[in-house]
Amino acid sequence: MKARMFFHTRENKDGGEKEMTGHLRLYPAAAGLAWLVAVVALALVAINYGNNLIFALTALALALWLNAGWECWRNAQGAIWQAAPVAPAFAGEKLRLSGSVRAETGRTRRGFMLLAAGEPIPGTPGDAGTTLEVAIPAGSRGKKHLAGTRLVSRWPLGFWRASRLLPPCAALVWPRPEGDLPLPESAPVPACQRQGVDDFEGLRAYAPGDAPRRVNWRVYGRSGELAVNVFAGEAGGTALRLDFAACAGDVEARLAQLARWVLEAERQGRPYTLALPGTAETAPGHGASRQAECLARLAVFGKETKETP
């Protein structure tokens, strides 16, 4: 037994808010089917014994079952899905698809959960306004097209299940950082690009070759660690050259080694460049944005967009 209700699709100009696409589907859940079997059994007993009290109880139980279906449909109808960007993950880990539901009107929406395609375990349930999340295996590195995720609600009694397909989304899977080679120290490249004047950007760890006038002596006095003032466009000192050719093994092993080097260079606060065959070498630098850029290059190197199973 299944009911389908069609609703339009709407998307804001910024693309961040979407009403659920396709058809809203209403199914009896396992508990609802068991309840219906009990109603039929009560009806047979009432007919067999001609008992008006059992007839009344049967009618009440059937009305409750039907009203639960109506309330389940009303709860899911008109809900708007607000998707959050899918954060990248390393190969072999989990991609976390998340977002929230809000009502098109002031009516409260309850008991939603996410169910990923091919995954038997749904995400943690929650009401409208709370963050819903489901974990999806990331698989191998590359760009992923995540389709087939459904928003499900069994509110109020669990007798029915309202389900609607969510819009597909894209995610990036970085190569898993592996390898035993130390950071390449033998072929550093100049890290200084241009001198900054007034645009102070922050601090970084001291690297050999940095001018003493760039050292932040106040930080040294407090922590005992040398830190260098960084201005816009400035790197200073030398940078590590993380070169594909300097790694050993096949393509995947080399990319895994480079990913580990990127993380290690970031951990040490050292500027670096990334050199991959067929692409321009990155400019020297470090920081969260540089790490994300380099890992993204490693993720898509030699790959086309793939859909998750």
Q: State residue 237's pLDDT score.
A: 66
Q: Which of 241, 155, 234 is nearest to 201 (CA)?
A: 234
Q: State residue 159's pLDDT score.
A: 96
Query: How many angstroms separate the Cα of 119 from the Cα of each of 135, 136, 210?
Result: 9, 8, 53
Q: State residue 196's pLDDT score.
A: 46
Residues across the chain: 309
Q: State residue 304's pLDDT score.
A: 52
Distance CA(98)–CA(123), nearest Å, equals 9
The DSSP element (H or E) to which 262 belongs, if any, is helix 251-268
Q: State residue 12's pLDDT score.
A: 44
- Over 129-177, what HEC string results? CCEEEEEEECCCCEEEEECCCEEEECCCCCCEEEEEECCCEEEEEECCC
Q: State residue 78's pLDDT score.
A: 77
Distance CA(297)–CA(174), nearest Å, equals 9
Q: State residue 4's pLDDT score.
A: 43
Q: State residue 283's pLDDT score.
A: 86
Region label for 12, one of left (φ > 0), alpha (ψ between -120 and 50) or beta (otherwise): beta
User: Helix, strand or coil for residue 296?
Assistant: helix
Which two tokens mark 98? 């998340």
pTM of the predicted model, to two decimals?
A: 0.70
10-residue stretch averages of pLDDT, the chain, 309 residues long: 41 44 83 96 94 94 96 88 92 92 77 82 73 90 91 92 91 95 77 52 71 81 81 64 93 96 91 92 88 95 58
Distance CA(56)–CA(35), nearest Å, equals 16
Cis peptide before 156 (omega within 30 of 0): yes
Q: Which of 73, 89, 64 is nearest to 7 (CA)?
A: 73
